[in-house]
Structure 1
Amino acid sequence: MSSLPTTKEILGEHLYCAIEALQPQHAERLTGMLLELDNEEIIQMLQYDDLLKKRLQVAMEVLQREESKNKDLLGEKLYSRTEELEPVMCAKITGMLLEMDSYSIQQLLLSQDALQSAVSKAKEALLHEQSRDTSREDFTRNKQTLGEQLYQVIERDYPKHAAKLTGMLLELGQEELVHLLNNKDLMQSRVKIALDVIEQECPGR
């Protein structure tokens, strides 16, 4: 015959339900912490929401301090394990993985396969980001080079408006700019259109 639940166990069930509605992610740990209080105070917390919220705030502060200490320790272990799998990018990957909660990090440290998978995904994300950064840098460099070449061509015939005309034509795509630089007639046509716009905006100049 199973024994009847104790008062503490019954209060624990009610307390867990109340805490889960406010702090679902940490409900189990917070319930355990608050169950250390005497039964009378637990009953009061269940009766008065403000008191429960106040006790939860204090408990959360304690929990966050513990989390911070645990994260530091886990971070050292995670870096060491990540370095074995990916020595070049281990610092950045460790930083990414430390965005996870402590429990998830602990699970990674317990499973080599899970850690390998997480490191691979983080590395893939980093390489993708680096590729995008490189593409943006290349685009900027190419546009600047084309701008310089375009300015030199325009300046020969339209020195007064060379800067303005170059800026307007640089709004075009890179492929079209390259085409302009290789096609004198098309260049003259585009410049004339841009020049007409300038003269309409600033007649007599």
Structure 2
Amino acid sequence: MDEEEDLESIGEQLYTRIYPKHKEAAGKLTGMLLELPGPVLRQMLQDEAMLTAAVEKALRALQLPQEPRETCKDEDDASVSSDSLGEQLFELVDVYNTGHSQKITGMLLEQHKEAVLNLLSDPKLLEEQVNHALKTLKEQNEETDVSDTSDADDTEKLGEKLFSLVEEMDPRHANDITGMLLEMDPAALQQLLSDHTMLEVAVQKAQAALNT
């Protein structure tokens, strides 16, 4: 009962907030928003921008023309319905403000149509799936971050070595020249560090570019 009472009070608060701007559609909009998970609704009541965004999405959904279904075009219907499924799912996923709505929607749409329909009708299930997809994305990002940081460390070390060598040749422009050389491939940079003549040529080219 508590949950029902809680939902009822959230609904009343939502209606009160929505009514001044959307008198005619306030009831429908409130009903649509109440399909979202409780934690999201509570967050909306505290976050004006999130509430406004959700109301605008619900409004757009209300304004979409309801096209009559034609039974004779099964294939067309299947593609149209899967498109609209994707749109509906995106609208719901986007409310979570994860910053990855497009990717998460794509991940969820890889499931069977029945499973996607379940997500649209079951806010708790949707919340679980969104959190799971978000976790997966974060893990992927962490993996790429780790490789990025090791690359960044390598580049930093190369840069330090390169700077000390360039500084001996041209102390005044060492920073600029090192910056220009660091745009080269790491393999080419390694070559410069091991071949002093090549480095001199590269520094001269960079000096010429700086003087133009």
> What TM-score bracket applies, with the shorter chain setting the length?
0.3 to 0.5
> Which fold has the larger relative contact order, with Cα–Cα distance below 8 Å and residues 6 or more apart in sequence?
2
Asked which structure has the greater CA Rg, the reply is 1
Q: Provide the TM-score with structure 2 as the length reference.
A: 0.44
Q: Provide the TM-score with structure 1 as the length reference.
A: 0.45
